[in-house]
Structures are given as C-alpha cells and as structure tokens.
Amino acid sequence: MSKPVCLVIGAGAGIGGNVAKRFASAGFHACLARRTDSQGLDRLVREVTDAGGSASGFMLNAVEEHSIETLVENIEKDVGPIEVAVYNLGAQIGDRALADTPLKTFEMGWRMATFGLFRLASCLLPCMVQRGHGSLLVTSATAAMRGNSGQHSHASAMGARRMLCQTLNAEFAAKGIHVAHIVVDGAVDAPDTLGKMLGPQRFQALRERKGLEKDGLLVPAAIAETYYHLANQHRSAWTFELDLRAHTDLAWWNHAGL
Amino acid sequence: MSKPVCLVIGAGAGIGGNVAKRFASAGFHACLARRTDSQGLDRLVREVTDAGGSASGFMLNAVEEHSIETLVENIEKDVGPIEVAVYNLGAQIGDRALADTPLKTFEMGWRMATFGLFRLASCLLPCMVQRGHGSLLVTSATAAMRGNSGQHSHASAMGARRMLCQTLNAEFAAKGIHVAHIVVDGAVDAPDTLGKMLGPQRFQALRERKGLEKDGLLVPAAIAETYYHLANQHRSAWTFELDLRAHTDLAWWNHAGL
Amino acid sequence: MSKPVCLVIGAGAGIGGNVAKRFASAGFHACLARRTDSQGLDRLVREVTDAGGSASGFMLNAVEEHSIETLVENIEKDVGPIEVAVYNLGAQIGDRALADTPLKTFEMGWRMATFGLFRLASCLLPCMVQRGHGSLLVTSATAAMRGNSGQHSHASAMGARRMLCQTLNAEFAAKGIHVAHIVVDGAVDAPDTLGKMLGPQRFQALRERKGLEKDGLLVPAAIAETYYHLANQHRSAWTFELDLRAHTDLAWWNHAGL
Amino acid sequence: MSKPVCLVIGAGAGIGGNVAKRFASAGFHACLARRTDSQGLDRLVREVTDAGGSASGFMLNAVEEHSIETLVENIEKDVGPIEVAVYNLGAQIGDRALADTPLKTFEMGWRMATFGLFRLASCLLPCMVQRGHGSLLVTSATAAMRGNSGQHSHASAMGARRMLCQTLNAEFAAKGIHVAHIVVDGAVDAPDTLGKMLGPQRFQALRERKGLEKDGLLVPAAIAETYYHLANQHRSAWTFELDLRAHTDLAWWNHAGL
C-alpha cells in the first residue's frame, strides 16, 4: 500500500476520529484504534471510506501487555510505514477527593496516559528514526501544567506525559522526529468522552449553553486542523507545545498556568 | 478595496516580509511597515505584486509618538479594515553585561518590544471588536520566559510583552479577537536582522554550519506558514501560545524554559 | 557605623515596613524609603528604635531621575555598605479595561515596577560585587507569570520584572549576589496599600471575612520571615524564586500559573 | 512520647539525613527510613542521639505493597503524631537513551518518585487533617519542569510528582496541611546518592572542582535549613514551590525552565 499511514490510538467520535478523518482526506491511510464499541469503530471507518478516504479499524486494549507493540508491528508489516501517530488516550475521571481515588485508579491513570505513550514511543520511534522522519502528536490537557482540585490521578499522569514529550524532543528532534504536546484546554464537543462523563442530558445542556452558535466548546474538526498543520510544519520551524482553547471560555485559560 | 488587510509592523526580509507574502498569496492586501531602508521596502512590495499579490509599503518609526496610531488610522480609512496585524518588532542587542546596558538602551528595548504593542492594541483592537473578529500575531522569543545571561533589556521587554498578550487574551478573546504569542526560539535565516547583528561573514558561516541542507536555522517562509495557520484557526480552538524551533538545535530548546 | 545595612524601597505599613523591622531585630540598620507620608515614615522608624533596633527614614520619589541612584550613593557613603536591598514598589491600579488604561498609566507602571529595579540593580550591584556578597529581594506578584483580566499595566510590568531578576541571576549569582523573586500571591493585610486601594470599609470587611482568625490574608510579619530566611541562605543552596500564599485562598493559587 | 515527629522517607547521608538532624536539633523526634544499609541507618540515628536529639531508624522498601502504609500506621501508634513528613525518594538513573530504558525501569521510576508519594499522602494526610495541621515536604528536581535529554524515566516521574503536589495543595491547604515542592537543581554533595551514581573517584573530583571552597555543590545541611523554614512558615504565607541552586552553577539554572 503506497499511502502514508496515520495511526490514531484513542479514536472515538471526538478528537481522535476527527483527526483520522482529516489525515484521510489529505491522502493518508487512517488506522483507527480503540478499546470498546466495535460498531462505533466500523461506523467511523465507513465514514472515512464513504468520503473517498482509506481507513482500517483495530480493537486495542492499550493497557494490556504487548498490545500497543503488537499493533504497531502489524501495521508496519501489513499496512505500511506509520508516518504520523496520534496518542489520544487519557483517563480523566471527573473530580475526586484523595479519599475517593484508590491506588488502582491512580495507577490506571498513569498506565493509560503515560505508560502507554512511553510504550508507543519505545516501539515506534526506532522505525521512524530509520526512515529519518515521522510525527507523534500527543493530546494533552491543562492538567499537565496545573494540578487543580480533584485531579490527583489525571494531573499527575498528564504532568508525566508532558515531561516525557520533552525528553523525547531532546533525543529525537534532531533525528527528524517531531513530537508535539497539544494542550487541549476546555470542554470538547465530543459525545464519546465528555458526553459519557456528563451523561446525555448534562452534555446537551452544556452544548446549548456554550457550544453550537457560540463556539464555546472546542469543535473536534477544528482541533484536527491544527493536528494536521503540526504534521506538516517544516523541520526548521517545529512547534513542540501549543494550547487550544475556545475563545469564550476564559475561565479555563485562567486556570491553565500555561 | 475589498481585500482583507494584513498589517505587518517590522517587515524586513525575515519573518515580517515572509508573513506579508504568505497572507498576500492567500488574497490579503499586505501593508508592510518598517523604519529604515525604503528601497528594501519597495523591493518587498514589488516582490508581492510580481507574484500576483497586492501590497503597500509604509515607513514607520514605531517609537515616535502617535506613529503607530496614525498608521492604523490611515490604513483603516484609506486601505481597508485590518483583519490581521503582525507585531514583529524587537530590540535584541546581543549579549550585554549590566554595566554595558545604559538606562536609555533598556528603556528603548521596552518602547519597541512592549510599549509599541500596547499602543497598537489600544488603537486597533477597538476597531476589531466593532467588527467582531480579527487577529493580532505577536512575534516573541525564548527571552519572554527565560532570562538568560546578557539579555537584561531583551528578556525584560519580552517578558512584559508576553504578559501583555495574556491580559489581551483575557479581555478580548471572548469578543472574537485572537491574540497569539509566538515564541521563535533560535536563529532565523534572516539577513536583515540576524545578518546585520552578526555581520555578513559570521552570518554566512552560521548558514553553512546549521542552515541550508540541515534546516538548523528557522526558515522565515516556514515560520510564515504557522502565522497563517493561526489566523485561520476556528474560534472554538484557538492557540494563544506556541513555540517554533529548528529540529537540530536542541541547545536552544534546553535553554528555553517554555 | 558597623551594622550591616538593609535598604527597603517601598517601606509602608505592609510588607516593606515589616521586612525592615525583621532585619532591624536581627542587628541590621534599616533604611526605609517611601514616596509619601513623612509622618508615617517617622512612625515606622520610631517603632524600630523603640524595639531596640536601628533605622533611618528617607523620602524617595523612585520614578524621578537619579533619585534611586542618589539614595544608594548617600547610604553607602554615610550609613554603610548595603548588605540587603528590598525592592517593594509596584503600581497595581486595580482592574482596568484596555480602554481605561492610558499610555501614561501603562508607562508609569513599568517605571515603578521594572525600570526602578533596573536602576537600583545598575547602581547597587557593582558595589556588592566588589564586596563579594549581598542580597536583592524583589517583591513580585502572580501577575508576573499570568496575565489575568484587567491587569494590562500591572502584569506587563511584573512580567518584565521577573525576567529582569532572571538575567540578574545569570550574571550575578556566581559573583556572590543573591537576587530573589518573591511571588506574593493574594491579598496582604496591609492598610497602606490594599487598604488604600479598597477604601477603609471594604478593607475591614475583607479582614473580617478572610483574615484575622482564619489567616486568609497574608500577614506582613509572616512574609518578612521568609525574606529574612532568603537573605540568610547559604550560597550553595539559594532560592531564586518562590511563592507566598495564604492557606485558605486556593482561588488565588488556581489563577497563579506558577 | 511528647515530641512532635518528623518522618523522613529516603534518609541517607545527603538531604534526607541532614533534614532529619535539623528537625531533631529543634526538638523533633526524627524517624529515619531507608531501603538499604542498616548499619548506615544506625550510624545516622546515633549521630542524632549523640548530638542530644531523639531518633529511630526503620528499614523500608517503599515500592513494596503496604510498606509505607504500615510504617505510617506504626509510627502514629507507637511513636507519636507525624507533624512533618519528608518524601525524599527518587530513581534518577543517569542519562539513558530511550532504547536503554526498559519498561520495567520506567515503571520503577514512577513507583518510587510518584506512586510512593501518592500512597504516603493517602495514608498520612487524613491523620493530619484530623489534627488540623502538618507539613509534607517533597524533594524534587529540575526534571519536574523540564525534560532534558536522557531523562525519560526521571523527568516523567518528577513531572507527575509536581502535579500531584499541586492537586494536594488544592485539596489540603485550606485544611491546614502544607505540601511543598522543593526543586533541588544541581549536584548535591551527597556520598550516598551522587557519590554512588558517579563512583568515588569522579565524585571526589567533582567535589574538588565545584564544591568545598567554592560552594558549587549543594551542601545538604544548607538545604536542610530551607526545609526547616518551610515547616515553620505561618499558614497565612506558605510557599508551595521553590528552587534551591548553587550560586556558581548557572548552567543548571539555564536548563531549569522554572
């Protein structure tokens, strides 16, 4: 297969799915990976192909041993060289006091947000280095630079993720690999993630209050444009970190500490 | 005139000129303003028009009282509404010990890097607010977040500029105005600025050592792509701050403190 | 005079006066400088001497040309070598929209918060370098690292101040001079500054709501303990930046972006 | 036992041991915990008691399940309420390329630097909240805010630690618990840690080149003074984060990104 491959780990109906579609529309073969809802995954793949693009779907339990490693190996062998990888997994669990954050929850947050990225980098970046180019785009959050109330698990895992992106920059940028840390700061108009966390009624109310006409929720397709721009930057002028925020939602910005 | 206007303050042969060309190639009328070398300015304008674009040149001493204010007023009246403004002035003077940094130098650094931006914002943002949209793209430097040795004037002025961008975000984002703080971290392949600071021989040596094939100097045309992307982001997903760095030049990144 | 000298610029009844008292109680001769209210200044000096300490008062308009320079020269000549200098001036003016922030106000904010510190460093640090030791303790604010709404003048001036402290660190730490940037984050229980900004009634209401028993306003004498600790740190383990916050007042911390 | 207790987890001959001695000299009973070298531990305890202080030693494998939890429970029951806890464990392993950082190493770095602190906070802070006061002092590193080359494990674990300290601040400060994140930036004159990492000859050479007369290595007893100051700050003016650096060692500061 001659198309460059864009692998999206964490491909739901929000950021991940839209990033996959954006790259597919530009001639990439999109590999969409997610843990649950294989029908939803099929639907996303079909949306890409219906629009004239090319895509495959993969079920993936990212915290399982060897899962990410095997997926990368298979795609590199069967589909083609991964030119762009998007790591879009996290484990935001809503606000929890310390007493309501069991050790297992805290550890799982790190396994999804940090360790999975480390495993992806460990198996994928050597392939990219051999080819002399490649991009790893990492969805992150305000919690990576400011630990606010109730986010013991989320903030700690995201802070770890941010520092990991920087140590990857320090080792791999000069080898042609572009790792970018993308601070998505605010509520995303994503039924799969925010919608599930809030429940359908609160999510719809939020959409009506902030989103839609007022553009106060981050629109995933708009986010995807910046992911695509990052993967296309000339290597003399790469962005290693940026924020994405809705214009109306300054409360988020004030808490961000970027 | 029906084209949207892009005003570039500090339009030389580096970042400023290339940003002007990028917007002109996308259908903007580019207004290029600079302090010295009217022949160089004419040449830039001609390059834009030769490429099928539309541009005008303006001589501007930005630290002079009323200078920026008058320019903005005249362009808004005679050329058209300014949709995008680029503030690309600074006063980097090379490394200087405190004893070699006179009060006048320190004050001039602030007048160019900070006060000029404040004056531009004060006269331009009210017009943009009336229209409900507009972008102000601010070239900045690593010195805005890390005060390294010998940069008393430069770092202090850039730190002031960064905080000003953030207070502008806080007041104007929700009114539809996108102010972006762009941390250009490293040597730019720009004969007008870096070339003049280093002298032609040292500049050429640097180009041969880092730039050209190795892309170790930031290429202004590559920088301009990201400026253009910023001005086109959907208001639900704006970037307020990002860095731009050459992939080979990790020493800069390590000093950046972003 | 054989006592070491501690010069406090901006010595009112809040941080400045209490820092002066703290150093005086430890055997320093305190030089208190302020712009207005010579009776208040006399009262502060008398409080120091009544407690068995040693102090002098100086009226100082810090934005006036040569004012700081002359004061430093006179103290070094007539009182003794300045071992510790405290720069405690700012120009917080409450929240103001851009349209309500005249050019003069913005410039004055920089003259007080940034340029005055640069002038103090320029005339004092060479004396300290000759002696091989000395401390410059700089009161700062959250606004130095986060530009919140309505603080165009304050945040920009404080951001400039912070970067200046860092360039001073870079040049002078190895020469034995300890410059520390102290981020006072929150309302200080200071009638001279916060009291005047809010008016007596709102200030008293704030004290009753947050301060007193609940310690929700920063107590100046408590702040002074940390200033004193900083000046006494061993040069192998200096602090260049720290924050000071009231334990109950997490809203401030969330906005701080430190 | 009527003395307040200071528990130090990671009590070797460097920061940990010196902090324990500092608190013991001020009337605390010091509980010293470490994983290896029970003779060294006995020696430290004896040094405290010989100096007129009071101390006990505990062997602790902090990554073992229930180990920290049991230690805290036993001390609270048998020795007395823990007024101050110091978390001084990390897993800096020297610079390693990604290919030389196995999954197990990366996970172990997180277990020591991050998860151990989370477990300590989870079992200790509820006790402190009941008493309405207490301090948790956390030794950290530059790697917590800047991911430099070769520090994939260390930087990621420390970044996680820093965000965790902030979420603890957000939940526990108003309840009277002071959590402080202490960025020790540079080489510490500590034979147990740096000495073992470098080997005796390189360590001695470093001491002669930078330390001793020039105070270019951080002296653990000097560091301990600041830990003691933090535990004594008035709750109206707490420091949540500070750096500690040697005055001569600006290269470290330039890399720090604080």
- Checking if the pLDDT of C257 tops 90, the result is no
Are C122 and B143 a contacting pair at CB < 8 A? no
What would the pLDDT profile of B81-130 be if each residue is shown by its tens digit? 999 999 999 777 778 999 999 999 999 999 999 999 999 999 999 999 99
Share of chain D above pLDDT 70, in %: 95
User: What is the C-alpha separation between A162 and A256, in angstroms, rounded?
Assistant: 14
Lowest mean pLDDT among C86-90, C213-217, D13-17: C213-217
B162–chain C nearest CA distance, Å = 7
pLDDT, residue A255, reads 41
- Checking if the pLDDT of D249 tops 70, the result is no
Lowest mean pLDDT among A78-92, B223-237, B242-256: B242-256
User: What is the C-alpha separation between C126 and B197, in angstroms, rounded?
Assistant: 28
User: What is the C-alpha separation between D210 and D166, in angstroms, rounded?
Assistant: 33
Q: Which residues of D touch C229 (CB under 8 A)?
A: 225-226, 229
C-alpha R_g of chain A: 17
Whether the CA torsion B246, B249, B252, B255 is positive or negative: it is: positive
User: What is the C-alpha separation between D156 and A163, in angstroms, rounded?
Assistant: 5
- Checking if the pLDDT of C255 tops 50, the result is no
Query: Who among A146, A149, A250 is closest to C257 (CB)?
Result: A146
Q: Nearest-CA neighbor of C73 among C63, C84, C81, C85? A: C81
Query: Who among C146, C149, C250 is closest to A257 (CB)?
Result: C146
pLDDT, residue C222, reads 97
C180, C239 in Cβ contact below 8 A? yes
Residue of C114, C167, C175 to mutate when probing chain B, most B C-beta within 10 A: C167
pLDDT, residue C204, reads 87
Q: What is the dihedral of CA C95, C98, C102, C103, to 10 degrees?
A: 120
pLDDT band at D250; cut points 50, 70, 90: low
Which positions ≥6 away from C189 have C-beta within 8 Å?
C14, C207, C211, C217, C218, C219, C220, D236
Query: Who among B148, B254, B258 is closest to D148 (CB)?
Result: B254
User: What is the C-alpha separation between D139 and D41, in angstroms, rounded?
Assistant: 20
Alpha helices in D211-254 (DSSP H): 220-232, 250-254
Beta bridge partners of C7: C31, C85
Averaged over D3-31, what is the pLDDT?
97
* C81 compared with C93, residue with greater pLDDT: C81
pLDDT, residue C250, reads 55
pLDDT, residue A249, reads 64
C253 touches chain D (CB under 8 A): yes
- Checking if the pLDDT of D52 tops 70, the result is yes
Are B146 and D257 a contacting pair at CB < 8 A? yes
* C206 compared with A70, residue with greater pLDDT: A70
Q: Give per-residue burial for B95-122: e unless 16+ CB within 10 Å, then b.
A: ebebeebeeeebbbbbbbbbbbbbbbbb
Which positions ≥6 away from D208 have C-beta within 8 Å?
none
Q: Which of the 8 DSSP states describes residue C219?
A: P
pLDDT, residue D183, reads 95
Tokens for D177, please give them: 């618990």
C251, D168 in Cβ contact below 8 A? no
Q: Which residues of B touch A172 (CB under 8 A)?
A: none
Which positions ≥6 away from C22 have C-beta within 8 Å?
C221, C224, C225, C227, C228
Residue position matching structure tokens 């400023």: B16
- Checking if the pLDDT of C253 tops 50, the result is no
What would the pLDDT profile of C204-237 be if each residue is shown by its tens digit? 888 888 877 788 899 999 999 999 999 999 999 9
Lowest mean pLDDT among A97-111, A192-206, D176-190: A192-206
Cβ neighbours, 10 Å, residue D4 = 17
What would the pLDDT profile of C14-68 be if each residue is shown by its tens digit? 999 999 999 999 999 999 999 999 999 999 999 999 999 999 999 999 999 999 9
Are B234 and A245 a contacting pair at CB < 8 A? no
Residue of B nearest to C174 (CA): B149
pLDDT, residue B250, reads 55
C124–chain D nearest CA distance, Å = 19
pLDDT, residue B252, reads 44
Query: Who among C146, C149, C254 is closest to A148 (CB)?
Result: C254
pLDDT, residue D1, reads 53
Q: What is the dihedral of CA A117, A123, A127, A128, to 10 degrees?
A: 10
pLDDT, residue B255, reads 41
* B192 compared with C165, residue with greater pLDDT: C165
Q: Which residues of B touch D146 (CB under 8 A)?
A: 254, 257
What would the pLDDT profile of A125-149 be if each residue is shown by its tens digit? 999 999 999 999 999 998 999 898 8
Are A258 and C257 a contacting pair at CB < 8 A? yes
Query: Who among D170, D211, D247 is closest to C176 (CB)?
Result: D247
Residue of A nearest to B183 (CA): A239
Helix (H, G, I), strand (E, B) or coil at A247: coil
What would the pLDDT profile of C160-198 be if each residue is shown by its tens digit? 999 999 999 999 999 999 999 999 988 888 877 778 878
What mean pLDDT is reported for chain C?
Answer: 92
D127 touches chain B (CB under 8 A): no
Angle at Cα A30 formed by Cα A26 and Cα A34, nearest 5°?
Answer: 145
pLDDT, residue C185, reads 87
Are D238 and C215 a contacting pair at CB < 8 A? no
pLDDT, residue C249, reads 64
Are C148 and A258 a contacting pair at CB < 8 A? no
pLDDT band at A250; cut points 50, 70, 90: low
Are C157 and B162 a contacting pair at CB < 8 A? no
pLDDT band at A93; cut points 50, 70, 90: confident
- Checking if the pLDDT of D257 tops 60, the result is no
Q: What is the dihedral of CA D153, D157, D158, D161, to 10 degrees?
A: 180
What mean pLDDT is reported for chain A?
Answer: 92
Q: What is the dihedral of CA B11, B13, B15, B20, to 10 degrees?
A: 50
Averaged over D159-176, what is the pLDDT?
96
What would the pLDDT profile of B22-39 be if each residue is shown by its tens digit? 999 999 999 999 999 999
Interface of A with B in 229-248 (CB under 8 A): 229, 232-248
C142 touches chain B (CB under 8 A): no
Are C256 and A254 a contacting pair at CB < 8 A? no
pLDDT, residue A154, reads 95
Are C149 and A254 a contacting pair at CB < 8 A? yes
Cβ neighbours, 10 Å, residue D67 = 19
pLDDT band at A213; cut points 50, 70, 90: confident
pLDDT, residue B187, reads 85
pLDDT, residue A157, reads 97
